[in-house]
Structure 1
């Protein structure tokens, strides 16, 4: 299921090879928690799931032992809840004092009775639908933070909202975006450390400057802000860290005009004893290193782990995993804190499996490199030296010819959550390969570059790369890995049928739970990897499960809903059930909801077009459509339809949909002023021409 994204030299045969791939209810009992003390205490009891990664360390390890490898086969559904969403569900539910808080797409918050699944309240921040096209990777939200009776959610359009945990009433709201002329988004879950609500943002693919901001949990007043990359050198740098970073960027590239990137859109963890929070930073803008920094340089603090004082926002240390990032190798994947014995000595470490394909162990007291080993095949570096610098392969920065990026921009491991079991000493995470071929775009311009054939440039993507200029030769896969961080080696693996599988939960019952792209929730023996139980989900799963306890029963919960950047165009299941929360317990007797079958439709036929327009239509489609709709007729569609399988009336009247059409209210861009009527005719020719080219010959 190779995702065809964009290409430079397009012929019909090569095109065909590019794809193989919210009512207010009962008022709750007053809630005072959680706070820092209760979150720390919950590490041992496991009664609640009070923080995004379970605990401040982000382990996603439940100490509950009622459900074990011996009886997991007796799991049954306790309840389910319809999230009323057809887009991606990436949320980790939070459970506090019998209430579950979970988000759906478009940043809608649902509060549920954690024992019965009954809706208590819900809150819709009413994100403007036109914001959708500036979200690179679906209109997703990864969840809320709950602290001292308040629920905090970041909206897709960049607001931070505080809600009363009992009623869902809005208490305060603040705009987290520093520059509304830039295409910032927020998809990540806030965190609360030392009374500060901390939120980052996304948008590096379009052109923004990354930062994170802390707000007082009681009032919403900004406490501090820390940028991840330097700004315009003609202006004073915000702090010493930015002055230091600027020395690693070439000002001749005027990187600040495109923002520079480095967005913090996912991982944040906290060590209360050291009073340090750790963040993972994102990729550069544009992707191509020499285009943003012609003379080279490490480009701090892209693709790095950074330690910050959560009370003041002061920089403490960093470790850069991919210096001079050239491949969209974000370091925003889950960070996990643990104390492990290395060479006979107990070390306080951070474990990390970022996009670039290497598993890192770093000393969290000082940021010193300990070890790294690739967990998937890589072709950009042969390893890391004793100082923690990658030993690069020169061809990976090729200027003049296409190259297969292994791993590619989807990463050897993406945002899908990792867990760590202190019982087994193993980390568990989904690994993958989604084949992509990259090539520098010689026609790219710094900002506002929009030429036919430049990937999604019509809606603002700004990568500086051509994607799939040639057909990639690597093979797709998705697998669950159990990884020994001390020996830096794989302990076991489970091969899935496709990439883009969900995050993991590990438990003291010797179990690992994971949802899958082909619409299952599975339980594995944590030591051996044996499959012990599974249940259908009705939709592909990309989020991670959680566990909690109520009235003596241990529960396993997953929020399921197919999507994300890969899931917009691709699928691995024949069902398309709306986003749903499923909760299981031993001997649960509830009935599964009725599953909805995915309706593909017939291959498009009968739209009149001029074959001479197909080639130009190809380039226009690449620049405006392909990341959402995939290759017509070749891909099968994800949570957005593939245009090769829609009724021909849609394509015959494509202008009525492209120019302020009915689907704008669902998040489709309005191409008025961006495309001409003639452009639309060319795109129509490409869509029908592609369908005709792949139609089986009689």
Structure 2
């Protein structure tokens, strides 16, 4: 291929040229890229900072370092958006959760699918140029809290960077799709570190955090040299062993806010698994920090102290990783109220002064506006109903916690907390439109019970079990009870005015976990929905202007770009993630299957949407032979170990197998599946967790649930239709 000898950028006329050589079109495209695109993914900091000068590209995760997810493109407007049609689609390999934001540079799209597989596509037509599979260790997929998802890549000077689910960070040659370097980011191989977030590249350093707080890890963010992969610095987000001296100034500050030594064994948590932003003028990198391990502060830190830097926004020097300032959204977090949610940098006029601000709507339900140079809180108001706090004290910046509603660890009583563990807003990116001055937030409405466990939790040797240290509210088993519960769990798109700290308009959705948002100079807001739609709204008032089916739920945030003067809008479709696995029953209300594909639209597009085959009916289950005690024991084991992937009470949302619908041969080999695992699917072996009696208890419980499904079939159809 290199003998073609081209040495020029690929123009459209080049791609349309038909050679006499009989190569498949995808092979031709790859050959032309290899030979002629010397500047493939030739992105650096100057180019990202000046991104508005080339609005046709989307060169960083949030398009720009400020992560506004706003595009200056305006070919698609309120007047013509109803003419959008599907331009092309590309079917991903695995129908699991899809959460990536694509990167588009000079006509090439780089994106990811489940298990961190990277795809390079021709952005004009979706033709595959190359694919890179990092071969993530699927034996460790059970150590990821929220399925085998990945939120995308970064690009820099001819390389594409991807965080791999099993904890590796890898650099790929952007022209060839070949591995350039690989590093293992895990600080401790005995703990369940994973990566689901997208890297960022700042000042020649690739920035990546890790996940795993629910399984007991110590959080940190690491910077690696973009060219070589050599570690440049590492910033820990929570203190380590209190018997050892703190690593740096930040850990000196943090150590004073933790008590006892249990957190060292538990890991402490504080993983930075998603959000970053960067201010080139201040040279500050902003880190969104997650929840604690364990969740219950009594078992984590004797219910004392703020436990820095849990649930915090932390600013550090981008070159050295040195601490600059922090703001903690939820001191002593006890509810999984992470601050890993999307952060946006902007300039706002507040009280007659122009302020450089950072904005975030973390899980805890409040929208924060913070001075990004100093960390000073400027304002905070709740975006959804909140009962765990009565508000934010503007003198101290701290929440006014309502102990009666929220402090389950103090009196041992179950507390109904609003919002609950998936928060008012999760990882789904929001966007900011500087023309309207509004932030567009995919929000949740949800509540759950929290209950302190009086016995000290022992660390479970089997990594797949959540390390929470408390009980959270469980869902009913049957469709009638779930329908009542589902009425209190919903979602909405909120257009939030960050200066007035109030909603400008809202659009309701049937369920939580709808897609991230994109705003454009065409005065539009684009979003996908859990119930399988892609939608455009008027940015100023929320009027729906365009809608098309997406064949699956859409959770990722869309992007827009242009090639050869034509504007496109891309959605990554593929229902999945934590809500559709753990809360599978409630997610059934969305009425969609996981069907992973890239959907790209343009004015006048006429491509046909690919759709999944209809689901087969559930087979007749075997006879139930276990008694009531056996079934009850099996249910407790199932909900403790299996529900995170296959759904509470064995009701799957469809991303992973619904174990009520097992085929006869799967029932016959049930012991072998649990003990041997299913590596191609990412299911680990449970041989260390269960003895043969416990396997039978779980099996009998699943058989009972299969019979329940047969009896409740019509009610489940009614549930999904409401």
Bin of the TM-score, shorter chain as denominator length: over 0.9
| 1-structure distance, mates of 2:648, 2:297 | 29
Match for residue 318 of structure 2 among 303, 310, 313: 310
- Gap runs ≥5 in structure 1: 1-21, 450-456
Residue 464 (structure 2) aligned to one of 459, 462, 466: 459
Matched, 1:684 2:699: yes
Distance in 2 (CA, whole Å) between partners of 1:378 and 1:599 is: 41
Q: Distance in 2 between matches of 1:125 and 1:685?
A: 38
SS of equivalent residue, structure 1 residue 125: coil
Q: Which residue matches 1:540?
A: 553
1:485 aligns with 2:494: no
The alignment status of 1:110 with 2:116, answered yes or no, reads no
| 1:505-544 equivalent positions in 2, closer than 5 A | 505-544=518-557
Q: 1:678 to 1:389 in 2, by over 3 A?
A: same
Q: Structure 1 294/549 Cα, relative in aligned 2: closer, same or farther at 3 Å? A: same
Quickly say closer, same or farther: Cα 1:130–1:636, change in 2 above 3 A: closer
1:686 Cα offset (Å): 1.8
- Pair 1:586-2:603 in alignment: yes
The separation in 2 between residues aligned to 1:235 and 1:60, in whole angstroms, is 42
CA RMSD of aligned residues (A): 2.0
Where structure 2 has 5 or more consecutive residues not aligned to the other structure, the ranges are 1-25, 477-483, 715-722
User: What's the counterpart of residue 644 of structure 2?
Assistant: 627
CA drift at 1:234: 1.4
Name the SS for the 2:215 alignment partner.
Answer: coil
Query: What pairs up with 1:123-162 in 2 under 5 angstroms?
Result: 123-162=132-171
Deviation, 1:604, is 4.2
* 681-690 or 537-546, which deviates more: 681-690
1:644 match: 660
Alignment of 1:132-531 (within 5 A): 132-250=141-259, 252-386=260-394, 387-395=396-404, 396-399=406-409, 400-448=412-460, 459-468=464-473, 475-531=488-544
CA distance in 1, matches of 2:527, 2:303: 44
Q: Secondary structure at the match of 2:268?
A: coil
Moved more, 683-692 or 153-162: 683-692
CA contact (8 A) 1:629 1:642 kept: yes
Aligned partners of 2:646 and 2:652 also within 8 Å: no
Q: Is 1:119 aligned with 2:119?
A: no
Q: In the superposition, relative to structure 1, how do residues 148 and 55 fare at CA in structure 2: closer, same or farther (>3 Å)?
A: same
Q: Go from structure 1 to structure 2 and tell me whether the alpha carbon gap of 1:284 and 1:343 turns closer, same or farther (over 3 Å shift).
A: same
**Residue 627 of structure 1: CA displacement?**
1.5
Deviation at 1:168, TM superposition (A): 0.9
Give me the whole-angstrom Cα distance separating, in 1, the residues matched to 2:208 and 2:159. Answer: 15
Please give the alpha-carbon distance, in whole angstroms, between the structure 1 residues aligned to 2:165 and 2:132: 14
Deviation at 1:638, TM superposition (A): 2.7
- Residue 565 of structure 2 aligns with which residue? 552
Q: CA deviation at 1:378?
A: 1.1
Distance in 2 of aligned mates of 1:494 and 1:102: 29
Quick one: distance in 2 between partners of 1:139 and 1:636?
A: 16
2:708 and 2:573 map into 1 onto residues whose CA distance is: 36
Number of the residue aligned with 1:18: none
Aligned to 2:9: none
Give the direction of change, closer, same or farther, for the CA distance of 1:475–1:437 in structure 2 (3 Å limit): same
1:637: how far off?
2.7
- State the distance in 1 between where 2:175 and 2:32 align: 6
Instruction: Give how far 1:273 is off.
Output: 0.8
> 1:454 — aligned with what?
none
Distance 1:648 1:572 in 2: 28
Matches within 5 A, 1:655-666: 655-661=671-677, 663-666=678-681
Q: CA deviation at 1:591?
A: 1.9
Report the Cα offset of residue 108 of structure 1. 0.5
* Deviation by residue 1:141-198 (Cα, 9 ceiling, x = unmatched): 1000001111111111111111111111111111111111110001111100111111
**C-alpha deviation, 1:616, in angstroms:** 1.1
| CA deviation map 1:512-557 (0-9, x unaligned) | 0111111111111111111111111111111010000111111100
In structure 1, the residue corresponding to 2:76 is in which secondary structure?
coil
CA distance in 1, matches of 2:576, 2:594: 12
| TM-score, length-scaled by structure 1 | 0.92
Aligned equivalent of 2:670? 654
The aligned length equals 667
Partner of 2:717: none
Aligned partners of 2:61 and 2:103 also within 8 Å:
yes
Partner of residue 35 from structure 1, selected from 24, 40, 44: 44
